[in-house]
Copies of this chain bind each other. A is one copy, B any other.
Amino acid sequence: MSNIDKRIINSKNAIKNSFIEILKLKDISKITIKEICERANVNRATFYAHYSNQYNLLENIEDELFLNIKENLNNYSFKFDGSNTIHILEKIFDYIKANENICNVLLNDKGDIDFQKKLICFIYDECFSKWVCKDSESSDYLYSFVVYGCIGIIQKWFDDGVKKSAKDLAVMTYNIINNINKI
């Protein structure tokens, strides 16, 4: 998995870009390998050399984005102790906004909810769960409620054309979650 060869990089990028564009137009289940390759000007055999199908390709793109978001957070020297949750949220939303083209496809209401869940769980675990008291009876349900609620907020954000600033969204999200956790 060296991937230093320029040909590999080029092919993979062409395939990914083609796929993202088609994903804006139709559901992943309706996308064929054939049309991905035609748009990417890449032979079908080349696709199969790198990916097994469109779902595996999506998985690769999602993993990449997830890593990038994590890496981006590491650039800041945050303490994940609840003292600056709003700032962490703001940085994450900033990154998403800065990479709107791909994030829109992955995080809007047509995107992969499993990936969104994974992402939100990571954020929530980092930002909130450590300092939120746990009532064992209904805490699992509350957790599920909040995680899905956050997915709803982000999807709404994209539905709105990403007009709201990252900071505003961070403050709003923080307030809602903070209020809930007082139950």
Q: A residues bordering B, Cβ < 8 Å?
A: 28-29, 109, 113-114, 138, 140-142, 144-153, 155-157, 160, 172, 175-176, 179-180, 182-183
Please determine whether B152 and A140 come into contact, CB atoms closer than 8 angstroms: no
Residues in chain B near residue A144, CB distance under 8 A = 152-153, 155-156
Residues in chain B near residue A179, CB distance under 8 A = 179-180, 182-183
Residues in chain B near residue A138, CB distance under 8 A = 172
Extra A-B contacts (7), CB below 8 Å, given A140-B156, A148-B153, A176-B180: A141-B172, A145-B152, A145-B153, A148-B149, A149-B149, A149-B152, A180-B180
Closest-CB distance, A183 to chain B (whole angstroms): 5
Residues in chain B near residue A146, CB distance under 8 A = 149, 152
Say which residue of B29, B109, B142, B153 sits within 8 Å of A29 (CB atoms).
B29
